[in-house]
Structure 1
Amino acid sequence: MKKLLKIVTSRAFPMVIIFLIQLVLIVEMFIILKENFIWFYVVSFVLSVVLMVVLINKDTNPDYKITWIIPILTLPLFGSFLYLFFAKNKFAESVSKGMASTTSSFHFLMSNEENTLEEITNPDAYLQSRYLERYASCPVYRNTKSKYYPLGELYFEDLIEDIKNAKSFIFLEYFIIDKGYVWDTLVSLLKQKIEEGVDVRLIYDDFGCMNKMGRDFGDRLRASGIKYQVFNPIKYIVLPQHNNRNHRKIAVIDGKIGYTGGLNLADEYINKIVRFGHWRDSGVRIEGQAVWSLTVFFLSMWNSLSDEFLNFNDYLPKDFFKEEGFVEDKGFVQPFADAPRDKEPVGENTYLNIIYRAKKYVYITTPYLILSSEMLTALTNAAKGGIDVRIITPYIADKKMVFMVTRSYYEPLLEAGVKIYEYKPGFIHAKNIVSDDNVAVVSTINVDFRSLYLHFENGIWFFDSPIIKDIRDDFIETMEVSQRKTLQEMNDRLLAVKIAGSVLRIFAPLL
């Protein structure tokens, strides 16, 4: 009864009811139209043909085209209506454009001050870094110290300590914030820092926090003195913009220390509560010049959502260009961001570049494995060519349907020689890729269509850095407590499970 009451009083419940009402009204409209069969047929046929031509010629992922072609062909007018409704998203486009203009401005600033890219002598790494500079407007840095966290508990411990020492400003941008120990600890500390004169700002995704922080979350933030922006506020009328979310996780302290990775601000991420067995996640802390990119990512998002314009130079550390002011690790650090609707899948291309340029191995951890044709081809071709390709996914699923789709990709991967493991103690939420002991990415990006095509994401590319060994060692340690999947095991699955997975894969781009 208590669980039912919680569902009924949640923000999601009225949205579901209103969505169902809208769906019934749409279906009823098409039933009425069918009574005029001839006109209905002509309009349906013409509209479906026009949309098919548009889709086929559209510069987008082929898997998306197939996913939309099926409903347009089977339910012409209804499928066409859905496509027209969801294909355009002015909100995501406006945010993407706003972020692009501001990030290009900071790229101009950096390119006039240093030429770190030319210091990369490895041809493959140089081309990857140049891609991120040119197509994501994200420069590469040295003069940066990096630390890897194989568990959320370690990440949160250091984050709290750094926030305690903040002197000027604290920026936080997270997909999920939930009630509990993590948020209570953090908000208590943030209030204290505000009293000390520290500028505290928060960006959170409304969908990610919808059933977690309550309707009065904004009022409570305002009362505590925390300045905030809500990304993509949920509306009761179903809109295409609800499909795009801010999945980024960024923390910046004084412009000198930054955090990112898979971790949100909720208790399961540090195993204070148990939801799907042991929760294994990862994150990174950077200190030095590369933090400037995380600062700009936050500011560009803030400026895109707010009427208040924050000047970037006001948050640039005074000693930014003094190399002696930073502790330097060997190697290169390149934070990057990815946005939907900008026609450049930065996250996917970064992964593909690493896979195609691998000489010995590629290790990937991801909670969801829903592969585009490009990604599936890259992984299988790498394995067929003798590259040691290994992937770790969860053993305990948080989303049953998505997990079923994830497992549906095992068979072609295993046939090609890819080694797949499931994290036996529970749920792995880390989003890492490491290759050949010299390149790695720690990010917010899942290997699925949502992260690669629909969400706002961010990550950090590392080359020839000491942190890469830590990421590789963490993968090996995780693999040792994971269960390796076999082709025979996949072949022995129930026929109904195989069929369900195959059907769901058709709609994978929408999951």
Structure 2
Amino acid sequence: MKKEEFQQNMKDRMQQFEDGGLRLLKKGQKGIVHAIFSRFGLVLLLMLLQVGVLWSVFRWFGGLLPHYFGGSVVMSAFMVVYILNSEMDNSAKITWMVTIAILPVVGVPLFFYVKSNIGHNALKKRVTHLTEEARGLQPQPLAAARELAEADPGAASLARYLHGKGGGFSVYRNTEVTYFPGGEAKFEELLRQLEKAEKYIFLEYFIIDEGLMWGRILEVLARKAAEGVDVRVMYDGTCEFTTLPRDYPSRLEKLGIQCRVFSPVQPFVSTHYNYRDHRKILVIDGKVGFTGGVNLADEYINHIEKYGRWKDAAVMLEGEAVRPLTILFLEMWSILREPEFEKFLSVPPHSVPAKGFAAPYGDCPLDGERVGEMVYIDLLNRAKRYIHIMTPYLILDGELETALRFAAERGVDVHLILPHVPDKKFAYALAKTHYKSLLDSGVKISEWLPGFVHAKVFVVDDSEAVVGTINLDYRSLYHHFENAVWMKDTACIPAIEKDFQKTLEFCRDVEPTRESIWEGNVLLHLAGILLKVIAPLL
């Protein structure tokens, strides 16, 4: 086929692709109706049941009121004892006890529904099997482990945790890491790297939305697929009722692109819906990998503005440490099919001489190990001079809040940058409920005035850093599939700290007073107080 014919053919196919999407969008078929079958649907049903029971008791069975309230007290007391002896996090225990005490008709069925894990036992078994199979594919390079132990025993202990209990993730040398202080910079480099693809392109993102950013990327993906490159796209099922039509995978298949949706919208009888794929991974030929907070939608590159300016962060890896990103993608891709580890991992890792160490890692909500939180707490406990953090959300359990406060109380400069323009008002209100205790312990908190901070960044003592997808909130730390990269002495760490300081120039410093924290917003303050009780459930 001549070049002109090929280009015209691709243009026609892309036009058909876009026209099909527009027709579906005009019909409003983004799958919103399926949201009612989520966990929200179950909670709403139970709330209606609670109201119905109370109304029936008062209206028709007034004489049974003492029995109802007596039974409620007995049930609540039993559940309190049961929950106190469970293995869940203390913050979650308090939440469940309060919920059951106030709304027993809602709380008791909801508790056992969540605890039963209906619908995701098969997922847990499959993910566990894939994780165990993948462990043997990334043995720890002995030279890297030895050099890290000699350079910093504390950092070496974190590396041992990641390779052991943390999931079998190794620390690598020979990896160049580039830091991007925003989605715009990542987007430009991403397009350049996609053009170099020769064998395969793997994309796994929480959000994909049609627009300039995804349109430019899709054009390259379709062209590369036509050239014989193995192109695979995976996104989270929540896109089906927020950004993409339900038939999007079949539309991508027509362009030669393989597509999978993680956990499509499920009926509310399944708790599978509770676990989302929040990862952002792009791998090209096993040589180059991207991760960070940037999804594939126009607000992430400030082509459109939803909540003021969008502040994000990402990293690009070139070299040996790309291998774990490839493995993480293949694990998720293989949940419903045979794994292809050998096909893509049989060749030695690509090596690029570079300074420092890099360890990409993942966090799985089904294995009982909070890897993301453990890494953050370890950095807080080992920080000597400073630990600077950017995060969009701040909904903390007791352990993480204690670690933040203790680091500040022992003289470490603990400084958090959060958004001044929130994307979720309830999350914003909950974040502010933590401000006073943190500020009183010496933690510094600043809010970025131009808009929304979506970056997930830790930088410590000019020597260590984490950039990834893991927020400081319950959903990210407990319920999502996540990933990040821990770095030690890589050349990009000064750039990460420089970005933090530059971002700080456009922030307001929060003082430990009600006026400074809540800025006179009484409703926001009230919402934060009330929502604090059920924070682990949000």
Deviations 1:290-325 (A, max 9, x none): 111001001111112x2x2132121026342xxxx6
The answer to whether the aligner puts 1:128 opposite 2:158 as a matched pair is yes
Q: Distance in 2 between matches of 1:213 and 1:496?
A: 34
Distance 1:39 1:170, change over 3 A: farther
Corresponding residue for 2:356? 331
Show the counterpart of 1:366.
Answer: 391
Compared with structure 1, are the counterparts of its residues 17 and 333 closer, same or farther at alpha carbon in structure 2 (3 Å cutoff)?
closer
Change (3 A) 1:182 1:28: same
In structure 2, stretches of 5+ residues that fail to align are 1-24
Structure 1 residue 434 displacement after superposition: 0.7
Q: CA deviation at 1:494?
A: 5.2
- The whole-number CA distance in structure 2 between the counterparts of 1:479 and 1:240 is 40
- Which letter does structure 1 place at the counterpart of 2:159? S
Contact 2:287–2:322 (8 Å) recurs in 1: yes
Secondary structure at 2:394's aligned position in 1? Answer: coil
Structure 1 unaligned residues grouped into runs of 5+: none
Aligned counterpart, 1:86: 114
Distance 2:70 2:331 in 1: 47
1:415 corresponds to which residue? 440
| Count of aligned pairs between the two proteins | 501
Which amino acid is 1:339 matched to?
Answer: C
Match of 2:12 in 1: none
C-alpha distance in structure 2 between counterparts of 1:204 and 1:409, whole Å: 32
- The one-letter amino acid paired with 2:459 is V
CA deviations on 1:254-278 (whole Å, 9 max, x unpaired) are 1111110001110000111111111
Change (3 A) 1:88 1:7: farther
User: What residue is the counterpart of 1:379 in the other structure?
Assistant: 404
Work out whether residues 7 and 13 of structure 1, in 8 Å CA contact, stay in contact via their aligned partners in 2.
no
The 3 A distance-change label for structure 1 pair 386 and 113 is closer
Work out the CA distance in 2 between the residues paired with 1:24 and 1:384.
43
Task: Report if the CA contact (8 A) 2:175-2:321 is conserved.
Answer: yes
Task: Pick which of 45-54 and 255-264 moved more.
Answer: 45-54
* In 2: Cα distance, 1:155 partner to 1:410 partner: 32
1:214 is matched with which residue?
245
Matched, 1:180 2:211: yes
Equivalent residue number for residue 5 of structure 2: none
Describe the SS at the equivalent of 2:531.
Answer: helix
Equivalent of 2:236, from 189, 195, 205? 205
3-state DSSP of counterpart to 1:430: coil
* SS state at 2:207 partner: coil
Which of 452, 456, 460 lines up with 1:435 in the alignment? Answer: 460
Structure 2 distance, partners of 1:115, 1:61, is 38
Matches within 5 A, 1:48-197: 48-111=76-139, 114=142, 116-120=144-148, 121=150, 122-135=152-165, 136-197=167-228
* Residues 353/24 of structure 1: CA separation in 2 closer, same or farther (3 Å cut): closer
Tell whether the 8 Å contact from 1:33 to 1:40 is kept in structure 2 after alignment. Answer: no
What amino acid sits opposite 2:113 in the alignment?
Answer: F
CA positional deviation for 1:66: 0.6
- Choose the corresponding residue for 2:296, options 260, 265, 270: 265
Structure 1 position 498 matched with structure 2 position 525: yes
Aligned match of 1:398:
423
Q: Distance in 2 between the 1:496 and 1:77 partners?
A: 28
1:285 aligned residue: 316
Tell me the distance in 2 between the aligned counterparts of 1:24 and 1:284: 44
Residue type matched to 2:158 in 1?
Q
- Percent identity (aligned): 40
Which stretch of the first structure deviates more once superposed, 78-87 or 5-14? Answer: 5-14
1:27, distance to aligned residue in structure 2 (A) = 3.7
Is residue 342 of structure 2 the alignment partner of residue 313 of structure 1? yes
Is it true that 1:11 corresponds to 2:40 in the alignment? no
Shift of 1:51: 3.2
Greater shift, 290-299 or 13-22, is seen at 13-22
Indicate yes or no: 2:226 matched with 1:226. Answer: no
Structure 1 residues 195, 7: closer, same or farther in 2, change over 3 A?
Answer: closer
- Cα distance in 1 for partners of 2:362, 2:54 equals 45
SS at match of 1:51: helix
SS at match of 1:386: coil
Q: Does the aligned pair in 1 maintain the 2:50–2:105 contact within 8 Å?
A: no
Deviation, 1:10, is 4.5
1:277 and 1:368 map into 2 onto residues whose CA distance is 16
Relative distance call for 1:200 and 1:78 in structure 2 (3 A) is same
What is the match of residue 452 of structure 1? 477
Distance 1:385 1:40, change over 3 A: same
Cα distance change on mapping 1:166 and 1:172 into 2, 3 Å: same
Structure 1 contact 364–392 (Cα < 8 Å) conserved: yes
Matching residue of 2:4: none
Q: Check conservation: 1:281, 1:430, Cα contact below 8 A.
A: yes
CA gap 1:494/1:182 in 2 versus in 1, 3 angstroms? closer
Q: For the structure 1 residues 92 and 269, does the alpha-carbon distance in structure 2 shift closer, same or farther, using more than 3 Å as the test? A: farther
More deviation in 103-112 or 152-161?
103-112
1:197 to partner: Cα distance:
0.9
* Shift in CA distance, 85/103, structure 1 to aligned 2, threshold 3 Å: closer
Please report how far the alpha carbon of residue 17 of structure 1 lies from its aligned counterpart in structure 2 after TM superposition: 8.8
Q: Compared with structure 1, are the counterparts of its residues 32 and 250 closer, same or farther at alpha carbon in structure 2 (3 Å cutoff)?
A: same
Output the CA distance in 2 between the equivalents of 1:6 and 1:504: 36
Query: Are 2:31 and 2:240, in contact at CA under 8 Å, matched by a contact in 1?
Result: no
2:490 maps to what in 1? 465
Give the superposition deviation at 1:164. 1.3
Bigger Cα displacement from structure 2, 401-410 vs 391-400: 401-410
Deviation at 1:381? 1.3
The CA distance in 2 between the partners of 1:143 and 1:215, in whole Å, is: 42
* 1:33-88: CA deviation from partner (whole Å, max 9, x where unpaired): 85466775676555544433332122221001111111111222331011111223
Equivalent pair of 2:468/2:485 in contact (CA under 8 Å): yes
Q: What is the distance in 1 between the residues matched to 2:120 and 2:361?
A: 18
Aligned pair 1:510/2:537, yes or no?
Answer: yes
Q: CA deviation at 1:215?
A: 2.8
* CA spacing shift, 1:337–1:481, aligned 2, 3 Å: same
The farther-off stretch of 34-43 and 208-217 is: 34-43
How far is 1:90 from its partner? 4.6
> Which amino acid in the other structure matches residue 310 of structure 1?
P
